[in-house]
């Protein structure tokens, strides 16, 4: 394991696209208006712990239920593909229940460290060093914390159209990543 800034940058961008905290600003603002205060620190710390823990125990959990890393990576590619379609087309394929509190649920889980993020972390683990993934997770957690703290200001600054444009750009990036993950791992299913 060695530090590789290219890997850190790549993994950071992938996680940033999957977590989509900028695209979640309307949800965060809505939660703040309905429920009052959002516990940004608590939500951020819990999300970081969930993601880092899953990086280490996720593969063991897969082995326990008899799934290999290639199969999970291909499944992850499909999840990322559909998430990208949601972002690009502006549709919702997955619907959450209405939350009653705004700290750990729904912000830390599933908004930040949800199924897409977990799938991505395990998929990335097959191609990148753990230390680089951990650093990328921490970079994203810092960004998430900043966005949670200043979501109202960001929404006013970007406007509805700005948030929509950013969401679509990251959707296209995510779509390309999904195709790359699929292509890199699908061969391993038939060997």
For the chain, the residue count is 191
Kindly tell me the number of DSSP H helices and DSSP E strands found in the chain. 7, 0
Instruction: Say what the pLDDT of residue 161 is.
Output: 87
Please name which of 19, 56, 21, 23 lies closest in space to residue 133, comparing C-alpha atoms: 56
The stretch 175-181 carries a mean pLDDT of 83
Residue 143 has which token pair?
A: 């960004």
Q: For 110-153, what is each residue's pLDDT tens digit? A: 778 877 788 889 889 888 999 999 999 999 999 999 999 988 78
Taking residue 37's Cβ as centre, other Cβ atoms within 10 Å add up to: 9
- Choose between 89 and 109: higher pLDDT: 89
CA angle 151, 152, 158 (to 5 degrees): 85
Q: For 5-57, what is each residue's pLDDT tens digit? A: 999 999 999 999 999 887 788 778 767 766 777 889 999 999 999 999 999 99
Q: Residue written as tokens 């908004």?
A: 111
The stretch 84-100 carries a mean pLDDT of 70
pTM score, two decimals?
0.76
CA 122, CA 116: separation in Å to the nearest integer?
Answer: 10
Residue 50 has which token pair?
A: 């969930």
Please name which of 139, 119, 125 lies closest in space to residue 48, comparing C-alpha atoms: 139
Instruction: Say what the pLDDT of residue 94 is.
Output: 60
Instruction: Say what the pLDDT of residue 109 is.
Output: 80
- pLDDT range class, residue 98, cuts 50, 70, 90: low
- Choose between 100 and 163: higher pLDDT: 163
CA 127, CA 7: separation in Å to the nearest integer?
Answer: 9
């Amino acid at each position: 394991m060695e530090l590789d800034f290219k890997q850190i940058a790549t993994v950071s961008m992938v996680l940033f696209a999957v977590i989509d905290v900028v695209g979640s600003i309307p949800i965060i603002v809505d939660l703040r208006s309905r429920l009052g205060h959002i516990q940004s620190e608590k939500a951020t710390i819990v999300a970081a712990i969930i993601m880092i823990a899953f990086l280490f125990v996720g593969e063991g959990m897969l082995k326990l239920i008899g799934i290999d890393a290639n199969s999970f990576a291909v499944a992850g590619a499909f999840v990322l593909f559909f998430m990208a379609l949601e972002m690009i087309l502006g549709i919702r394929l997955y619907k959450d229940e209405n939350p009653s509190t705004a700290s750990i649920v729904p912000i830390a889980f599933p908004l930040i460290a949800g199924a897409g993020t977990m799938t991505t972390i395990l998929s990335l683990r097959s191609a990148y060093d753990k230390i680089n993934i951990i650093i990328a997770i921490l970079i994203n957690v810092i960004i998430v914390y900043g966005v949670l703290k200043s979501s109202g200001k960001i929404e006013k600054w970007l406007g509805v159209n700005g948030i929509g444009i950013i969401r679509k750009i990251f959707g296209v990036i995510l779509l390309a990543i999904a195709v790359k993950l699929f292509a890199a791992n699908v061969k391993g299913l038939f060997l």
